[in-house]
Structures are given as structure tokens and as C-alpha cells.
Amino acid sequence: MSNESRAGREAAPRNHPLSDVAADLVGREKAFGANNYDPLPVVLTRGQGSWVSDVDGRRYLDLMSAYSAVSFGHSHPRIVAALIAQAQQLGVTSRAYFNDELPYLFERLVRLTGLPRVLPANGGAEAVETALKAARKWGHKIKGIPEGRAEIIGCQGNFHGRTIAVIGLSTEPQYRDGFGPFPPGLSTVPYGDSDALERAITPRTAAFLVEPIQGEGGIIVPPPGYLARCAEICRRHRVLLICDEIQTGLGRTGRLLACEHEGITPDAVILGKALGGGLLPVSAVVGSDDLMQVFNPGDHGSTFGGNPLAAAVAMAALDVLEEEKLVARSAELGEWLIGELADLKSHIVRDVRGRGLFVGIEVDARYITARPVVDRLLARGILSKDTHGTVVRIAPPLNISRDDLAWAVSQIHALFRELEAELKRAA
């Protein structure tokens, strides 16, 4: 165990109020920012590896990784060095010109995914929009679907971002409330039900967009064989299979891509979050020649997408992923973590599920919701996040130490014992 990690554990807070400095910062954010987030009551200021510090010097173990954007830890020295070096040389040029970094990133992503063409973007939602545009144009120009009639199928419980088109595919009422009308040609089928997908396909269906594991939906792992069956159905009906790997990709589930668990190569993979090394928004659609041939100069673009600074950082992130063998590490630590959490002896816990270091603890809403669990983990020095009211998300950096992860598991076990005791006293 490192001295830094031990010091962080000893500094783990319990039920502390916000200091004057923290309260002032929270007050300013609430006074001047739109009210579209409800953050946990902690104000972070520094991060190194798997640990972050708040403005009062308290330290926390990060089991959230910014929804997988910090898969390689905070301020990884190699990625930071690449950022600084490139920023001092050339940052943004727009795609009006070639630059000397982007070609290497393209080549690297093609080699890693086995798909031959790359279109870069910034955040994940932009990449999803790019994939939807490509799929629609492919449907019209290549498959022969009448103009304006192409259909995209998604899954119930999905999360692909917050744009108008994407929330048109969402089945979460809050994500849609007040934001319509939505584009036509979007429908959903139950997640994990390949027969429902086949029933929903029509001659106008251009693509099926799916998360190999639903993250925001509650770390939902589909039945074995689901993705392989969907791939077969899509091939037979000449429908594009597009896998959203923004959260699950780049080692998070113990494989480079989560779709590899079933040995499939989709028509397109959407990458983001971890691709930016925890420092920049970097995303990409990596697709087949058949799909990507639909783009001509002027059809689609992004001022910042593919800038040399982003490309250099992404290359460094991929170097770290490969050289630190983080895919294998995620598989090994994830198997251990799921086994340890599955041993939670509590009637509050309904399920523990996931793959690799992408794990959800589902609590029984008859006794408690997930937010109080997350708040009390915060008080023990652990950062996590609730989703859909009943699931505590556990997704640490892939290079977290086993000692630190074991400490977190011990705190989670202790918390559920504490909650059980409180429920018994209240009964």
C-alpha cells in the first residue's frame, strides 16, 4: 500500500458539513449556473491516480471515473506530458488543413477496432449524432430507403446522450419532458430481446443502435448470446449494427470493446470518454467502408473534432491502455470485485452485476434508495454515483491498486452492515 493511499484513507471524512470555502463555491454555482445537475456535496480541486481532494484537503477514492472518462486515473503523468507538449506546439487548426497528429490516431483506432474508417468528434453525444447521420444517409443512398423515411431502432432504457435526436430514442420520461417535437423514424425495443428486434425491423430500417452493456440504465448486462444474435439479424436484414461503446469501450468491461465478449464486429463503434485520457473531450465513430463512404467533403464537420491537441492526448491514452495492460487488469480486478460485492450479506441488496470494472449494486427501494447510499459512501471517503434511484455505480480507474479497491470493498461491506442495523432498530 502506498503512503499516499494510506494517508488518503486516514483522511476519509465522516458526516462533515461544507466548510465556508466549499459552501461559497457551491452557492456561486447554484446562483449563476443552470439547475440541470444535483451534485454530491463535495467540492473537488485536485486529483492524482485514483484519488481526488476537496478544497478542504479531504481525500476520496474515486469509484466513478467521471462515467469512464477518467479510466486511466486523474492527471496520468504520460497523458499530461503529451497534452503540455502538444499544446506548446500546435493546438487547433480545424479540419480545413491536415495536421501531423490526426493520421496516427486514425491508424491506431483502425488497428485496434478492425474497422477501416474513422470520423473524429468531441463529446460522445456528438459522435452518436454523427453515427445517426451516417446511418440515415447510408439507408437512403446505399440501401435504397426512400428519402426521409429511414428508421433507426434503439433499446428501451438506453442512454446515448442528450441531443434532440438522441432523446427522441430515449424511454426516460424526464429526458424527453418539454423537449419535443422529436425527429421521426426513431423507435425502441426491449433491451436483451433479440426476437423483438427482428419483429421491429421493416424495409425502411437503416440501423440498430445498442449499448453492449447499458450504463446509465443501471449496469444492465444482456443475456448471453444477445449481441451475437442481433448481429446475425442485422446482417440478414441488411441493417447496420452500431455499438455505443462510449462508456464500455477501451477496457472498461475487461475487453478492449464490450462487443468483443461475443466475438462480433459491428458496422460501427462509437468511442468517447476514456479516449480523451481524462483531460479532453475526444470521441470518434469508427466504421466500415460501406457505411463511411456516404460522406463527401462538406456533408459533415466539426471545428474542434480531430484537432492535433486532442489527437496527441488520445494517442497517449491509448499508449497507457496498451503498455499498462489495463484491459487484462480490468478483467482480473473486475472478476475479483464482483465476487467480493456479490458476497454482501444484506436483504437491502437485490443484485450485483457487471463486467470488468463496470459494476452496479442494486438496492431494494422498499428499504432505501441509492442516493443515501452514495451520500454515506462519500462520508466514508468514496466517490460513487446513483443511477435510476436504485443502482450504485462502481467504475474505478482501470489502474486502481488492488489495495485501494480492497479498502473500498471493506467500506461498502461496513456501510451495508450499518444500514442493516439501522433498519432493524427502526423496525
**Under a CB-based contact definition with an 8 Å cutoff, are residues 43 and 26 in contact?**
yes
Could you tell me where the DSSP H helices lie in 114-201? 124-138, 164-167, 173-176, 194-200
pLDDT at 8: 41
Last residue of one domain, picked from the residues 291, 308, 323: 323
Q: Do residues 113 and 133 share a domain?
A: yes
Bond prior to 203 in cis (omega within 30° of 0): no
pLDDT at 105: 98
- DSSP characters for 340-393? HHHT---TTEEEEEEETTEEEEEE-TTT--HHHHHHHHHHTTEE-EEETTTEEE
Sign, Cα dihedral of 374, 213, 111, 308: negative
Gap between the Cα atoms of 227 and 211, Å rounded: 10
Cell of 308: 492535433
Provide the annotated active-site residues: 159, 244, 273
- DSSP characters for 242-282? EEE-TTTTTTTTSSSSGGGGGT---SEEEE-GGGGTTTS--
- Taking alpha carbons only, the member of 150, 106, 167 closest to residue 240 is 150
pLDDT at 15: 59
Q: Write out the H or E segment, with its range, that includes residue 103.
A: helix 102-113
pLDDT at 360: 98
Range of the domain at 159: 77-323
pLDDT at 424: 87
pLDDT, mean of residues 9-21:
65
Q: Do residues 183 and 279 share a domain?
A: yes
pLDDT band at 345 (very low <50, low <70, confident <90, very high): confident
**Under a CB-based contact definition with an 8 Å cutoff, are residues 158 and 170 in contact?**
yes
CA dihedral 293→148→154→234, nearest 10 degrees, is -50
Q: How many domains does the chain have?
A: 2
Q: Do residues 335 and 208 share a domain?
A: no
pLDDT digit string, tens, across residues 374-401: 999 999 999 999 998 999 999 999 999 9
Cell of 392: 450504485
Q: Residue 111: how many CB atoms within 10 A of its CB?
A: 10
pLDDT digit string, tens, across residues 250-303: 999 999 999 999 999 999 999 999 999 999 999 999 999 999 999 999 999 999
| Share above pLDDT 70 across residues of the chain, in percent, rounded to a whole number | 96
Q: Do residues 197 and 235 share a domain?
A: yes
Q: Do residues 241 and 283 share a domain?
A: yes
Q: Do residues 330 and 318 share a domain?
A: no
CATH code of 288's domain? 3.40.640.10
Q: Do residues 210 and 131 share a domain?
A: yes
Type of residue at 412: I
Asked whether the predicted pLDDT for residue 3 surpasses 60, the reply is no
Asked whether the predicted pLDDT for residue 95 surpasses 80, the reply is yes
pLDDT at 51: 98
Average pLDDT, the chain: 95
Q: Do residues 246 and 381 share a domain?
A: no
Cell of 53: 481532494
pLDDT digit string, tens, across residues 107-154: 999 999 999 999 999 999 999 999 999 999 999 999 999 999 999 999
Type of residue at 174: Q
Asked whether the predicted pLDDT for residue 6 surpasses 50, the reply is no
- Whole-angstrom CA distances from 223 to 194, 213, 427 are 10, 10, 37
361: Cβ contacts below 8 Å, ≥ 6 apart: 341, 344, 349, 351, 352, 373, 391, 392, 394, 412
| Share above pLDDT 90 across residues of the chain, in percent, rounded to a whole number | 93
pLDDT, mean of residues 203-231:
98
Helices then strands, each counted (H, E), the chain:
14, 15
Beta bridge partners of 394: 359
Q: Do residues 84 and 194 share a domain?
A: yes
Asked whether the predicted pLDDT for residue 336 surpasses 90, the reply is yes
Asked whether the predicted pLDDT for residue 1 surpasses 60, the reply is no
Exposure on the CB side of residue 235, measured as CA atoms within 13 A? 9
Report pTM: 0.95
Q: Do residues 284 and 419 share a domain?
A: no
Last residue of one domain, picked from the residues 279, 304, 323: 323
CATH code of 46's domain? 3.90.1150.10
Q: Do residues 302 and 329 share a domain?
A: no
Q: In what order do the strands lie in the sheet with 151-155?
A: 117-121, 283-287, 268-271, 240-244, 205-210, 151-155, 186-189
Gap between the Cα atoms of 133 and 127, Å rounded: 10
pLDDT, mean of residues 11-38:
86
**Out of 16-20, 177-181, 355-359, least confident range:** 16-20
pLDDT at 17: 84
Q: Do residues 332 and 311 share a domain?
A: no
- Whole-angstrom CA distances from 131 to 135, 244, 275 are 6, 10, 17
Last residue of one domain, picked from the residues 280, 302, 323: 323
Helices 370-379 and 402-426, packing angle to 10 deg = 120
